[in-house]
């Protein structure tokens, strides 16, 4: 029989091989009619054992691609060959009635030996193929089992149950020595399997153990595995000798994968979420095909790589049917499918301009950006300020005001693609200082800083754009202080701005009628009027500054003479007591911390003064009316709790209620910065300066005068001490049961979890310290939790966190599953500027600090298809999204969004062993939600006294049936975690595996 040749040109990639399979180019053509020799009928089935010589190839794998005479070719790349003896592999095939076969060989990855394009013509019996020569012999016949022979063991190890990404074989040939720990690396074989061929020399067997190279071992319960020569499999603690190649069933085109199971569909408004369990076999499933029917939009087919599918933008009150099929690497689709149906509800009203989203803030992980340093959408509003050259920013072409709202709007999909649904932005009010890009030097609290806005990208545009994507905006607000140049509309001081030969560089040219806006540059001086409209060479009318305009006797670092009243400060007499305090802080944990200046650039408001209160309440009402979703309160500890509880917090609630209703007011999220840089529960024993103190209402009546009330409260609470402060069970489960929290004594202010922040040098320390404080917050499930920020890293470090990728992953796994709201400082998802000094003012370039410009990592296009999922990305942003911690935080967000207990649940460690292990539950009768989850981070855990039933791990999909109230979970490894969710059926069914395994969640 003449066989039609085909030729493979050079080395083909796996993708090219797949393409050729689909077009039939790798399958030799059948004989033309009338040209082949007659095939005699066979009386019985014949076989061929083909031995292939390996020494000149040195491939890591060998495949036989063949066609019996008159039959079809195997699917590319063919069947795997097994180790035979030294330098040889073999495969026995059944030929049926055929008297021969055509054959080619390949490495499974696109490198072929096809006899120079002619294929090999082979018969039956024992056949060898060596360096292009075919012969009938058994090259291993003389090796048998005689002493002194060379033996080879081919071991396949199942990784399906251990979830390792790296597997090592540590072995000892009988009578020989063990390999050096951790052993030799095993190679990928097929989905769920790795393999390694070992030369045993004269030994007929070996002892073997397996490990992940990072200290996690499978040593058969301490007994080791005994593996003979030949092909063996090790799976679930069992050795199968003389086994069939486990990857044969996984050969892409030999058999279609099985269908996924247990598809569940739930509708919420005009969206449907599908979840299902993976296919039950190991046939190389790489994705799932979801088909939707219903409505007027016709059938939509989508391929996805996870077991969760969100279908959005559907018609209201419409039934939709879905089928899910599995697809393997070769494109084979399961014959059967799993189906589910869901009916959508009312179509939600599109977010109105100037209206908060109004949902529970605990559902929304927070991404914190310094707007001016995040992404530049409009270069025309960039400003370097008076320190542009001195700071070194000019040399880097990096003005301090660089990022803006336009740049932020343009990258909302990046943030959404991370899975973050709330954005905390730095203050937006018009700032005024020499170095004010961060927003904390407020000057006009009623005006948005024009260095942040652009045509078509106002602050209102940003709020509306975020809301349209289902994302919240939390505005950083400052009630404690203004810039040292005062607050426009309340009080601005006149300074002695001498413009002699020494100081003309600093003071802007006087321009009558000029109104500072931060953006306008006067053409005459080329400056931006940081102070030109405030200085006077003649003593101003009504001046209160002591020794106005006279030399102080001191000089600047440059040697310039300094004058009294040249710069505002609290003790100069420049600021009236009705608006500002008139002292410097002496004790940061003392009473004067609420009534004195923090820094010369931060003029301390007299917040117990009615004019100041009215000024600030009126200013922040404006931003509430624009529809922001919450306030992050800067320097909250420097205002007495009585003032917060009497004035500012009620004013916020009243305004939100008035504009948007009681439910919106309930979910308007206020979280304060109560800076406490110590590791104890109460800040150096001072209850008045501890974060949890601000979450409570007052316990007694004080003077009607706010200033007196502040002193009375301070003295009373200090005398009561830490042991007499109120406590709460709002964060804790009652056994395994959720209970309705009691917020009747809640002040209206939640807080940043400073204690966890301070201890995040190690996740275990952060966890144990956090738990220790939770009974002293009104409700710790609302705590904002972060590792580092624009101010400090853990342990009051002045550098951005640099604990390493594994530690970052572990910190994130804890933050995303423990109580509280996970928060990420911009760039931490790629360890941006790790170890760099967070802030050094104008004494060094911003590019060298933790506040460096991030936009270079965001260039290109990105489109998010959902929270934690990216539909497309190009350019640098695509590279950014490929980083390991990005993948980690994306999947953490997918899991957290799918498990209500992780968002809003109370927690308990009762009956649980494990270093970072806890159970969480959230129950809401109104919505019918009941979610119960068992979590362990990094280490192993045992849970006792838990409800019986089926639990499914959201990370691996592993199902566990609990019948005796106990569940033991092995250690998942550093940065990894397990989230076993109790399957309660219906809308509370356990989702199973969520998302795709990544570098840490696996």
The CA distance from 153 to 229, in Å, is: 4
- Write out pLDDT tens, residues 105-118: 988 888 889 888 88
- Write out pLDDT tens, residues 116-138: 888 888 888 888 898 888 887 78
CB 951 within 8 A of CB 980: yes
The helix-helix angle for 610-625 and 649-660 (nearest 10°) equals 30
Task: Out of 4-18, 82-96, 282-296, 481-495, pick the least confident.
Answer: 4-18
SS3 label, residue 513 = coil
494: how many CB neighbours lie within 10 A of its CB? 22
List helix spans (H) across 599-639. 610-625
Tokens representing 635 are 């320097």
pLDDT at 12: 29
Instruction: Write out the DSSP string of 9-52.
Output: -SPPPHHHHHHHHHHTTTSPPPPPTTTSPP-PPPSS-EEEEEEE
The CA distance from 153 to 196, in Å, is: 8
The sign of the CA dihedral 544, 550, 551, 557 is positive
Long-range contacts of 518-522 (CB under 8 A, 24+ apart): 518/383, 518/401, 518/430, 518/431, 518/432, 518/449, 518/450, 518/451, 519/381, 519/383, 519/450, 519/451
Tokens representing 197 are 């061929």
Maximum CA pair distance of the chain? 122
- Write out pLDDT tens, residues 325-371: 888 766 778 777 778 888 887 765 554 568 999 999 999 999 999 99
The CA distance from 526 to 746, in Å, is: 52
CA dihedral 775, 776, 779, 784 (to 10 degrees): -110
Instruction: Determine the Cα angle at 975 with ends 972 and 976, to 5°.
Output: 35
Whether residue 393 is preceded by a cis peptide bond, meaning omega within 30 degrees of 0, is no
Confidence of residue 931 (pLDDT cuts 50, 70, 90): very high
Comparison of pLDDT for 234 and 327, the residue scoring more: 234
Confidence of residue 379 (pLDDT cuts 50, 70, 90): very high
pLDDT at 718: 93
Closest CA to 421 of 353, 470, 460: 470
CB 426 within 8 A of CB 371: yes
Q: Match 């929290």 to its residue by tokens.
A: 741
State how far the alpha carbon of 12 is from the alpha carbons of 7, 141, 251, 883, 994, in Å.
12, 35, 18, 29, 35
The sign of the CA dihedral 456, 461, 464, 467 is positive
The CA distance from 812 to 916, in Å, is: 13
Proportion of the chain in helix, strand, coil states, percent, rounded to 5:
20, 30, 50
CB 168 within 8 A of CB 181: no
- Write out pLDDT tens, residues 140-193: 875 444 444 578 899 999 987 787 878 889 999 988 899 988 888 888 888 788
The sign of the CA dihedral 650, 656, 659, 664 is negative
Closest CA to 190 of 157, 227, 146, 229: 157
In angstroms, how far is the first alpha carbon of the chain from the final one? 52
Task: Out of 42-51, 529-538, 747-756, 767-776, pick the least confident.
Answer: 42-51
The CA distance from 214 to 974, in Å, is: 9
Exposed (0-12), middle (13-18) or buried (19+): which is 291, by Cβ within 10 Å? middle
Q: Answer yes or no: is pLDDT of 526 > 70.
A: no
Mean pLDDT of the chain: 88
pLDDT at 510: 78
pLDDT at 525: 63
Confidence of residue 302 (pLDDT cuts 50, 70, 90): low
pLDDT at 280: 62
Q: Answer yes or no: is pLDDT of 249 > 70.
A: no
- Across 598-636, b (16+ Cβ under 10 Å) vs e yields beebbbbbbbbbeebbebbbebbbebbebbbbbbbbbbb
Confidence of residue 298 (pLDDT cuts 50, 70, 90): low
Q: Of all helices (H) and strands (E), which one includes residue 468?
A: helix 459-468
Closest CA to 384 of 428, 442, 392: 392
Tokens representing 433 are 């200082």
The CA distance from 593 to 595, in Å, is: 6
Comparison of pLDDT for 977 and 261, the residue scoring more: 977
- Write out pLDDT tens, residues 862-883: 999 999 999 999 999 999 999 9
Averaged over 676-700, what is the pLDDT?
Answer: 92
Q: Answer yes or no: is pLDDT of 3 > 60.
A: no
Tokens representing 727 are 């406590």
Averaged over 812-834, what is the pLDDT?
Answer: 98
Instruction: Determine the Cα angle at 709 with ends 658 and 493, to 5°.
Output: 75
Comparison of pLDDT for 215 and 389, the residue scoring more: 389
Instruction: Determine the Cα angle at 124 with ends 120 and 125, to 5°.
Output: 120
Exposed (0-12), middle (13-18) or buried (19+): which is 157, by Cβ within 10 Å? buried
Comparison of pLDDT for 503 and 630, the residue scoring more: 630
Closest CA to 259 of 171, 332, 156: 332
pLDDT at 423: 98
């Amino acid at each position: 029989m003449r066989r039609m040749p085909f030729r493979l040109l050079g080395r083909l990639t796996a993708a090219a091989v797949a393409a050729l399979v689909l077009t039939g180019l790798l399958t030799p053509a059948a004989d033309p009619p009338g040209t082949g020799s007659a095939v005699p009928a066979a009386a019985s089935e014949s076989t061929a054992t083909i031995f292939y010589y390996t020494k000149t190839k040195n491939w890591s794998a060998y495949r036989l691609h063949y066609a019996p005479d008159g039959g079809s070719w195997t699917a590319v790349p063919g069947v795997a060959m097994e180790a035979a003896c030294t330098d040889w592999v073999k495969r026995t095939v059944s030929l049926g009635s055929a008297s021969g076969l055509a054959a080619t060989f390949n490495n499974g990855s696109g490198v072929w030996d096809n006899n120079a394009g002619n294929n090999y013509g082979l018969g039956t019996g024992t056949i060898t193929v060596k360096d292009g020569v075919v012969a009938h012999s058994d090259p291993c016949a003389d090796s048998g089992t005689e002493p002194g022979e060379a033996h080879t063991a081919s071991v396949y190890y199942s990784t399906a149950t251990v979830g390792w990404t790296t597997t090592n074989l540590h072995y000892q040939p009988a009578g020989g020595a063990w390999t050096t720990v951790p052993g030799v690396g095993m190679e990928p074989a097929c989905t769920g399997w790795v393999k390694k061929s070992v030369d045993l020399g004269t030994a007929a067997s070996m002892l073997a153990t397996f490990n992940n190279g990072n200290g996690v071992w499978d040593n058969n319960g301490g007994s080791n595995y005994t593996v003979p020569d030949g092909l063996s499999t090790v799976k679930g603690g069992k050795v199968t000798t003389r086994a069939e190649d486990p990857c044969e069933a996984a050969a892409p085109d030999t058999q279609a994968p099985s269908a996924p199971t247990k598809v569940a569909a739930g509708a919420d408004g005009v969206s449907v979420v599908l979840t299902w369990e993976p296919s039950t076999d190991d046939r190389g499933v790489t994705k799932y095909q979801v088909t939707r029917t219903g409505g007027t939009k016709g059938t939509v087919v989508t391929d996805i790589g996870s077991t969760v599918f969100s279908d959005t933008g559907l018609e209201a009150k419409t039934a939709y049917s879905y089928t899910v099929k599995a697809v393997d690497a070769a494109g084979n689709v399961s014959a059967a499918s799993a189906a589910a149906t869901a009916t959508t509800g009312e179509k939600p009203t599109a977010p109105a301009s100037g209206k908060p989203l109004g949902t529970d803030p605990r559902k929304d992980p927070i991404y914190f950006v310094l707007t001016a340093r995040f992404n530049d959408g409009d270069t025309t509003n960039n400003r370097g300020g008076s320190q542009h050259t001195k700071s070194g920013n000019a040399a880097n072409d990096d003005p301090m005001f660089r990022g803006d709202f336009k740049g932020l709007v343009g990258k909302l999909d990046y943030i959404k693609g991370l899975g973050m649904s709330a954005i905390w932005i730095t203050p937006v009010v018009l700032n005024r200082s020499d170095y004010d890009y961060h927003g904390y030097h407020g000057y006009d609290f009623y005006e948005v800083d024009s260095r942040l806005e652009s045509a078509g990208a106002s602050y209102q545009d940003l709020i509306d754009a975020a809301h349209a994507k289902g994302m919240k905006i939390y505005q950083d607000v400052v009630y404690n202080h203004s810039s040292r140049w005062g607050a426009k509309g309340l009080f601005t001081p006149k300074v002695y701005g001498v413009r002699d030969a020494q100081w003309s560089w600093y003071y802007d040219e006087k321009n009558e009628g000029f109104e500072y806006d931060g953006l306008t540059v006067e053409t005459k001086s080329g400056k931006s009027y940081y102070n030109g409209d405030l200085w006077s060479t003649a003593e101003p009318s009504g001046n209160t500054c002591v020794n106005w305009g006279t030399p102080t006797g001191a000089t600047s670092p440059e040697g310039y003479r300094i004058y009294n009243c040249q710069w505002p400060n609290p003790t100069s007499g420049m600021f009236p007591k009705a608006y500002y305090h008139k002292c410097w802080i002496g004790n940061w944990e003392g009473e004067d911390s609420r009534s004195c200046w923090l820094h010369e650039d931060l003029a301390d408001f007299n917040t117990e003064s009615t004019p100041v209160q009215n000024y600030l309440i009126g200013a922040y009402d404006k931003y509430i009316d624009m529809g922001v979703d919450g306030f992050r309160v800067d320097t909250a500890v420097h205002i007495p709790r009585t003032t917060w509880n009497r004035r500012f917090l009620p004013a916020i609630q009243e305004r939100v209620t008035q504009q948007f209703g009681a439910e919106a007011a309930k979910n308007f999220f206020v979280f304060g910065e109560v800076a406490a840089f110590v590791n104890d529960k109460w800040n150096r024993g001072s209850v008045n300066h501890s974060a949890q103190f601000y979450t409570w209402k007052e316990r007694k009546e004080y003077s009607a005068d706010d200033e007196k009330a502040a002193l009375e409260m301070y003295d009373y609470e200090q005398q009561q001490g830490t042991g007499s402060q109120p406590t709460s069970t709002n964060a804790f489960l009652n056994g395994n049961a959720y209970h309705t929290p009691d917020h009747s004594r809640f002040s209206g202010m939640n807080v940043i979890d400073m204690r966890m922040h301070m201890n995040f040098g190690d996740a275990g320390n952060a966890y144990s310290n956090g738990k220790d404080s939770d009974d002293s917050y009104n409700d710790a499930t609302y705590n904002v939790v972060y590792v580092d920020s624009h101010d400090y890293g853990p342990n009051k470090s002045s550098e951005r966190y640099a604990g390493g990728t594994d530690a970052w992953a572990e910190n994130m796994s804890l933050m995303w599953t423990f109580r509280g709201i996970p928060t990420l400082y911009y760039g931490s998802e790629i360890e941006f500027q790790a170890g760099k000094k967070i802030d050094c003012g104008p004494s060094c370039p911003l590019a060298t600090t933790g506040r460096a410009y991030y936009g270079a990592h965001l260039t290109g296009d990105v489109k998010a298809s959902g929270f934690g999922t990216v539909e497309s990305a190009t350019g640098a942003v695509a590279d950014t999204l490929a980083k390991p911690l990005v993948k980690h935080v994306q999947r953490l967000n997918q899991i957290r969004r799918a498990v209500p207990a992780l968002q809003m649940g109370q927690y308990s460690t009762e009956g649980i062993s494990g270093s970072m292990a806890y159970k969480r539950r959230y129950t809401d009768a109104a919505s019918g939600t009941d979610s119960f989850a068992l979590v362990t981070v990094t280490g192993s855990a045992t849970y006792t006294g838990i409800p019986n039933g089926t639990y499914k791990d959201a990370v691996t999909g592993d199902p566990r049936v609990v019948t005796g109230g106990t569940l033991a979970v092995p250690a998942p490894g550093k940065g990894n975690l397990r989230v076993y969710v109790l399957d309660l059926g219906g809308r509370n069914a356990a989702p199973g595996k969520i998302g795709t395994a990544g570098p840490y969640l696996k």
